[in-house]
Amino acid sequence: MLGWRLLLSAAIVPLLVGLMVWDAWLGPTAPVLFVLCLLVGLRAAWELLTLARRESCDPKFIPVAMCVTLLLLGTWGPHWLAAIDPSQLTIRSLPSLSQVFAGCVLLLFVVRVFRFRQPGGHVEGLAFELLAVTYVGLLLSVTTQLRWLGQGGNGYLALGSLLVATKMGDIGAYTLGRLFGKRKMAPHLSPGKTWMGAVGAVLAGVLGAVLWLRVASPLFDLKWQPSWWIAAIVFGAAMGIVGLFGDLAESLIKRDVGAKDSAALMPGFGGLLDLLDSILFAGPVAVMIWQLFLGTDAP
């Protein structure tokens, strides 16, 4: 299983790097990343709603897909408008991400109002729709803000640090947990998670973050600073442990609905949501750390 995961990761990583290079070349409007995030967000939301769907609860994909799209548009809108009209007054006239999210909540309620025919399952369905919009749409939109953090608005050093540190943490948790794990971390929720796996997540996350930031910095015209060591170690440790809790958060959903994987999309990984769970959870934390210690505020 570990060998298959490493093989699949070896195929996915070069593809992602190629997309990043292409998108960086196209400039701060980031059209390639937008299309990728839109496809990923819609697929992940569909998987989450499929997990929840049963006779007493029937969450609808179309309104959720609209909300996920609106949240991503709310994230990209200021950057697209800045490319057309750099006036700050024009950019500030756009709704903030929190305002777009509030509008999405209202939209889901309104759709349910018009769909209501008789009591039963509507509140539960609405709750799952709100969960999908929040868990997938909102967290993904916040995470993608890494794209505009860093020197010159090219945040692929920041975005890459999240991906590398978090997935290295996943591999470290899986490896040390399988080899040396004895004490269960959450036996009723995820029997495979151990405290030794948590140690592996932190160590591998630190290794991934330090290696990425140390090796990739020159590629983004940045000179490694001695003061970055502590920030890189803290960042990697945070990504490892928060990513682990992201995996547990998705396990909570799957365990409660009686599913092993979110979907049967990729052997060894399950569904796309199974691959994204740690990244979605760690993304907002990565944004905060980059804004405070490693980068600059997004334009």
| pLDDT value at residue 171 | 87
CA 299 – CA 297 distance, rounded (Å): 6
- DSSP type of residue 186: E
Angle formed by the axes of helices 31-52 and 272-289, nearest 10°: 120
Is residue 250, in this structure, part of any structural domain at all?
A: yes
Instruction: Evaluate whether 62 touches 111 at the Cβ level (below 8 Å).
Output: no
C-alpha dist (Å) from residue 113 to 60, 69, 107: 13, 22, 10
Domain assignment present for 256: yes
Q: Count the domains in the chain.
A: 1
Q: CA–CA separation, 77 vs 144, rounded Å?
A: 13
> Are the beta carbons of 157 and 150 closer than 8 angstroms?
yes
The verdict on residue 157 lying in a domain is yes
Instruction: Answer yes or no: is 50 within a domain.
Output: yes
Question: Beta-carbon neighbour count of residue 48 at 10 Å?
Answer: 28
pLDDT at 297: 39
Q: In angstroms, rounded to a whole number, what is the distance separating the alpha carbons of residues 248 and 77? A: 33
Q: How far apart are CA 131 and CA 57, in angstroms?
A: 14
**Does any domain span residue 268?**
yes
What are the C-alpha distances in Å from 38 to residues 33, 46, 182? 8, 12, 40
Give the global pTM: 0.87
Distances from the Cα of 188 to the Cαs of 97, 193, 252, in angstroms? Answer: 36, 10, 10
Phi and psi at 187, nearest 5°, equal -60, -30
Question: What is the DSSP track for 40-95?
Answer: HHHHHHHHHHHHH-BTTB---HHHHHHHHHHHHHHHHHHHHHHHH---HHHHHTSP
pLDDT at site 133: 96
In a domain? residue 288: yes
Q: Which domain holds residue 274?
A: 2-294
In a domain, 112, yes or no: yes
Give the whole-angstrom CA distance, residue 159 versus residue 19.
12
Q: Where are the extended beta strands (E) located within the chain?
A: 184-186, 190-194
Q: Which residues, in sequence order, are CB contacts of 30 under 8 Å at separation 6+? A: 23, 76, 79, 147, 148
Q: Is residue 299 part of a domain?
A: no
Output the pLDDT for position 6. 55
Q: For residues 216 and 188, give the distance between their C-alpha atoms in angstroms, rounded to a whole number.
A: 40
pLDDT digits (tens), the chain, 299 positions: 555 555 665 566 667 777 777 787 777 888 889 999 999 999 999 999 988 776 567 788 999 999 999 999 999 988 888 777 766 666 677 888 999 999 999 999 999 888 877 777 778 889 999 999 999 999 999 999 999 886 655 688 889 889 999 988 988 988 888 888 788 888 777 877 888 989 999 999 999 999 988 888 877 777 777 777 888 899 999 999 999 999 898 888 888 877 766 666 655 556 788 888 899 999 999 999 988 876 543 33
CB atoms within 10 A of CB 215: 11
